Amino acid sequence: MRIVLMGPPGAGKGTQAVSLANQLGIAHISTGDIFRSNVSDKTELGLLAKKYMDAGEYVPDSVTNEMVKHRLAEPDVQHGFLLDGYPRTVAQVAELDVILSKLGAQVDLVIELTVDIDEVVKRLVQRSLQQGRSDDSEEVIRRRLEVYQEQTAPLLAAYRARGVLKSVSGMGEIEQVRERLAQLVAS
């Protein structure tokens, strides 16, 4: 199964993506995690990505697409994958289509985690206190939400038109959301 998990920053995508991918026995691919590990390893990619991440902006499509293309060429994605945080722009949707069509595959399911924006801001502020993420200052949080609305929210309509979009509430306890997602993929 090839799944894309979408939702605004702070919707709980990362946490839910890990358990859903485990449940389904598929690879969990988080572009944010890949960027963060490059930042901490101080690779060339990490140095470039950090500038954008710290400002709450998206890393350029050319860079992100190239990275995902390589990741999706690895053997563990053969049995399916859950993409967490990709695609986020129209150009990334197009690139993902190209990558998958070469494999004779397509996205089977796009899950949108819906949340109330005030709740999201609260979660992000809390996370920044706990994890000290440099992209979680209040100003950056606001910018990340804006960028999501401008560049990523429009992708939902495109996937809805393809008939692959399902929305799930991301509100409530982690365990409740996990259960909703488990039921969705089982149905």
Helices (H), the chain: 13-24, 31-40, 44-55, 61-71, 90-102, 117-131, 138-147, 153-161, 174-186
Q: Which CB atom, from 41 or from 187, has the smaller least distance to ligand AMP?
A: 41
* Active-site option among 36, 133, 143, 180: 133
135: its two tokens:
């992209």
Q: Which of 7, 8, 12, 32 binds ligand AMP (CB under 6 A)?
A: 32
Residues 103-162 that bind ligand AMP (CB under 6 A): 135, 144
Catalytic residue among 2, 50, 71, 88: 88
Q: Is 127 a catalytic residue?
A: yes
Is 21 a residue that touches ligand AMP (CB under 6 A)?
Answer: no
Which residue stretch of 20-28, 31-39, 94-102, 169-177 sits at the interface with ligand AMP (rule: CB under 6 A)?
Answer: 31-39
Gap between the Cα atoms of 6 and 13, Å rounded = 7
8 lies in the site for ligand AMP, by CB under 6 A: no
Residue 86 identity (one-letter amino acid): Y
Query: CB-wise, 5 or 24, nearer to ligand AMP?
Result: 5
Q: For 114, list phi and psi in degrees, rounded to 5.
A: -95, 140
- CB-count burial class (<10 Å; 0-12, 13-18, 19+) for 113: buried
With binding defined as CB under 6 A, does residue 81 bind ligand AMP?
A: no
As a whole number of angstroms, the longest Cα–Cα distance in the chain is: 44
Q: Which residues pair with 28 in a beta bridge?
A: 82
CB of 72 to ligand AMP, least distance (A): 13
User: Which residues are designated catalytic?
Assistant: 13, 88, 127, 133, 144
